[in-house]
Amino acid sequence: MAEIVIVGAGPAGIAAAGLLAGHGRSVTLIDEGLQAGGQGYRRPAPGLALDMPALMGSEAARYRSLHARFSALRPRLDYRPGTLVWAVEGRTLHLLSAGVATTLPFEVLILATGAMDRVAPFPGWAKPGVFTLGGAQVALKDQGCLIGRRVAFLGSSPLLGLAAQQYRKLGGEVAVIADTTPFRRKFSALPGLLRSPRTLLRGASYLGGALLAGVPLLQGVTPLAAEGGEHVEGLLLRDGRGRERRYACDAIALGYGLKPETQLAELAGAALIFDEDYRLWLPQADAEGRAAPGLYLAGDGMTIGGADAAEASGTVVAAAVLADLGETVLASEVAASHRRLHRLRRFQKSLAAAFAWPVAQIRALPDEVLLCRCENVSLGEVRAAMARELGPAEVNRVKAITRCGMGRCQGRVCGPALQEIVAGAADLPGAAAGRLRAQAPVKPVALSAAGEAP
Ligand SMILES: Cc1cc2nc3c(=O)[nH]c(=O)nc-3n(C[C@H](O)[C@H](O)[C@H](O)COP(=O)(O)OP(=O)(O)OC[C@H]3O[C@@H](n4cnc5c(N)ncnc54)[C@H](O)[C@@H]3O)c2cc1C
């Protein structure tokens, strides 16, 4: 029987594993996290008494349902938590678990690797106290910790309101929710957002709750500085009417939506294409997640869709795997998931318009702003390298010359902003600025893995 391996035990990976196991297939499910659930439905660390259903609010039923389904499924899987897949070479995965490096062959690989925060730099963003929005949520859900007593939520993302609500529930104070996208853009995206009224209402309820609690809600802001000495003490911004405003806070949660974790997909042979709506490089796959022979992509790791879409895509992809292995899958098993996936992915495109990646703001940032935190490279250094005679006008060349994107995160954090800076400075369309190529290890690994290097 074909060796089927799924990477990622979030909603997409669990749904895929469920359908495959239901058809009698043996499945290996790998996740670097110690507990299943993925990012959105993350469980608290063992022993931590955190009332997750209360924290999840309207998502509590789905949270419970996913974890209940996983508990029932687990005995039928070769489930490997705490295991990082750090490389793909041909039909072999390179794994690292508890410091021990191993390899795992596969015939069918489903990548359900989810997403990470997309961040845009602004003056002072490398100061202690500035966290990614997702990092702020992980601290809360995994450890029951707040990133600060008084937190400013900054960026452009539907998750700003959600995270702010979760912080308020656990006793945190919210200084401001500041969105860089102007309200008129949200209004224009409204017809598309009505494709998922439930999600729209949920988003509105987060912001409504904040408003009732007296939290300032701003749209169309320009971040000016994370202020403070050794640590964040305030957020300075320009509001939509051009007035400067200062909010005292001891932490800033920064997020511009999510970007798919595509490195393994790229190493496994998926083609990537620049999507102008998201302004992200996305792996290419057909409507059922086929990206290359034996390679399937599901969930947010393919394109951002949220937890419901991830779950639906897991089912759709598993059905495609079964069909490709010659098994009959009843239309009734997947028809609803197909419909849901199609609707939610279209909804997500409208969300991308309502919570826009701030291209113009990034390109207008001053030279002294730090772009690459790992290698300490400023925007000015990138621009200066490009301005030299025969200077580079492509992100990988810029990386080679400036070291921007060459550090621990391998450009996973600075990559999207670098893309805009290079495209802006060279006056090129986004795609023409190129894409930082993925290479193993896809995340930092211990030296013990070096002997297994592909
Ligand atoms: C930090 C964060 C917080 C979020 N919080 C919310 C929220 O509160 N509410 C909400 O609606 N949405 C939230 N989201 C959005 C979330 O991405 C989706 O709603 C949903 O979780 C997507 O499901 P998925 O199965 O595609 O991926 P995920 O749920 O992200 O699961 C992917 C899994 O793959 C694993 N993985 C990735 N790479 C590797 C590797 N190389 N080796 C081994 N394992 C790997 C990860 O550990 C993860 O468990 C959040 C996203 C992020 C990044």
The answer to whether residues 91 and 211 belong to one domain is no
Cα 114 to averaged position of ligand 1 atoms, centre (Å)? 4
Structure confidence at residue 407 as a pLDDT band (50, 70, 90): very high
Can you read off the two tokens belonging to residue 265? 């997909």
Cα 275 to averaged position of ligand 1 atoms, centre (Å)? 21
> Is it true that the peptide bond before 441 is cis, omega within 30 degrees of 0?
yes
Residue type, 235: L
Domain-ending residue, one of 223, 256, 289? 256
The answer to whether residues 192 and 231 belong to one domain is yes
Domain-ending residue, one of 256, 271, 304? 256
Cα 115 to averaged position of ligand 1 atoms, centre (Å)? 6
Q: Whose CA is nearest to atom 5 of ligand 1?
A: 40
What's the confidence (pLDDT) of residue 50?
84
More confident residue, 412 or 55: 412
- 361 within some domain: no
The answer to whether residues 88 and 26 belong to one domain is yes
Ligand 1 near 263 CB (within 6 A): no
**414, 435, 269, 20: CA torsion to nearest 10:** 50
Percent of the chain's residues with pLDDT above 70: 98
Ligand 1 near 258 CB (within 6 A): yes
Domain-ending residue, one of 256, 278, 300? 256
Can you read off the two tokens belonging to residue 183? 């309200």
The answer to whether residues 291 and 332 belong to one domain is yes
User: Do the beta carbons of residue 27 and residue 49 sit within 8 Å?
Assistant: no
Q: What is the CATH number of the domain that holds 386?
A: 1.10.10
pLDDT tens digit sequence for 172-221: 999 999 999 999 999 999 999 998 898 899 899 999 999 999 999 999 99
Q: What are phi and psi of 298, to 5 degrees?
A: -140, 155
Q: Say how far apart CA 136 and CA 148 lie, in whole Å.
A: 9
- 438 within some domain: no
Mean pLDDT of 33-39: 95
* 297 pLDDT higher than 70: yes
The answer to whether residues 195 and 211 belong to one domain is yes
- 357 within some domain: no
Q: What are phi and psi of 230, to 5 degrees?
A: -75, -20
pLDDT tens digit sequence for 353-390: 999 999 999 999 999 999 999 999 999 999 999 999 99
Q: Say how far apart CA 414 and CA 427 lie, in whole Å.
A: 19
Q: Say how far apart CA 453 and CA 248 lie, in whole Å.
A: 48
Cα 196 to averaged position of ligand 1 atoms, centre (Å)? 21
What's the confidence (pLDDT) of residue 36?
96
Structure confidence at residue 2 as a pLDDT band (50, 70, 90): low
Q: Say how far apart CA 281 and CA 289 lie, in whole Å.
A: 16
Q: Say how far apart CA 236 and CA 219 lie, in whole Å.
A: 14
- 444 within some domain: no
The secondary structure element, H or E, covering residue 101 is: strand 100-105
The answer to whether residues 14 and 109 belong to one domain is yes
Give the count of alpha carbons within 13 A of 6, CB side only.
33
More confident residue, 414 or 329: 414
The structural domain count of the chain equals 3
Domain that holds residue 44: 4-116+259-352
* 103 pLDDT higher than 90: yes
Ligand 1 near 305 CB (within 6 A): no
Q: What is the CATH number of the domain that holds 191?
A: 3.50.50.60
Ligand 1 near 449 CB (within 6 A): no
